[in-house]
Amino acid sequence: MCTYSTKNLSQPWPILKHYDQEHLYNIALPLGGIGTGTVSLGGRGELRDWEIGNKPAKKYSTVTTGNDAPFFSIFVNQPSTSTKITKALIGPVHPTEYLHYEGRACNNHGLPRFEHASFDAAYPFGMVNLSDSKMPVQVCIKGFNPFIPTDAESSGIPIAILYYEVTNTTNETLDVSICGSMRNFVGQDGSKYFIAGNGDYVPTGAKNNTNIYREDLAGKLKGIYMNSTKVDPNDPAWGTIALTTLVDSSNTTNVTYRLSSISNAWYHAILDFWDDVS
């Protein structure tokens, strides 16, 4: 997965269908190359349906507990008022989601979210529009596939691309950071699992997974490379994952990273992450 923070994309994106906040529950745009598997950008900005392990995996979130599910967040600092706000880049929870289909809390539960969301689509392009009365910014998440008619090789690149466009709605300079959180789930495609004593569905298969920070393209591509030294290479769920960002040579963006987190017992890991981001 590649993310990119930029002031503006050069061309306006096409819109064939608009979905308001009341019609986002089942909206999901598959992102990924042809034949490579996909992860879907949900109508509210959530990342869902992680089907990159060579098996169908609708609703699979890659992890055991909802707060471990991959997501992106935004931190905004308004120096003039010393106001600092952190929110998940996701729209509000749907009324039917207060309990997940497994009986646990829904994915990314408890995280502060944006008040308003809508979705604009024109496959292979999709845009999530987020706004909030307490936020001095509006955010547009633009996701797309490497889908190029008549070019099978380029259309088969195993990548999901997300652009984050942040609009300052004030007349002041703001400090803004965008951060992604994702576990290394190589070997864990959702098909192998056990039921814990408390009833939790616990996917298994990951083994000795490792994360490595790497840079390429003369430092313009930065990110975390995820692999495993113990998952059988013949296992359909074996492979590698990368969470990367592109940095424009003229951009002063500062890229920071973490390769691991503390144990998520009692959700301490997500709290530790939140404190770090904020």
Tell me the sheet residues that pair with 127.
Answer: 120, 142
Residue-level pLDDT at 96: 83
pLDDT at 65 exceeding the cut of 70: no
Average pLDDT, the chain: 89
Q: Which two tokens stand for residue 232?
A: 């059988």
Q: Is the peptide bond before 124 cis (omega within 30 degrees of 0)?
A: yes
- 17 DSSP 8-state letter: E
Residue-level pLDDT at 156: 95
pLDDT at 140 exceeding the cut of 80: yes
Task: State what percent of residues in the chain have pLDDT above 70.
Answer: 91
92 — phi, psi (to 5°)?
-65, 155
Mean pLDDT, range 177-201, rounded to an integer: 87
Question: In which band, very low, low, confident or very high, does the pLDDT at 100 lie, cut at 50, 70 and 90?
Answer: low
- Domain ranges for the chain, please list them: 2-206+248-277
- How far, in Å, CA of 38 to CA of 118, rounded? 22
pLDDT greater at residue 99 or residue 177: 177
**Which amino acid appears at position 172 of this protein?**
E
Q: Is the separation of the CB atoms in 144 and 126 below 8 Å? A: yes
58, 62, 63, 67 alpha-carbon torsion, rounded to 10° = -80
Tell me the sheet residues that pair with 56.
Answer: none
Task: State what percent of residues in the chain have pLDDT above 90.
Answer: 67
> Which residue matches tokens 């496959």?
123
Mean pLDDT, range 201-222, rounded to an integer: 91
Q: How many residues does the chain have?
A: 278
* Tens of pLDDT, residues 219-234: 889 999 999 999 999 9
| pTM of the complete model | 0.92
**Which amino acid appears at position 193 of this protein?**
Y
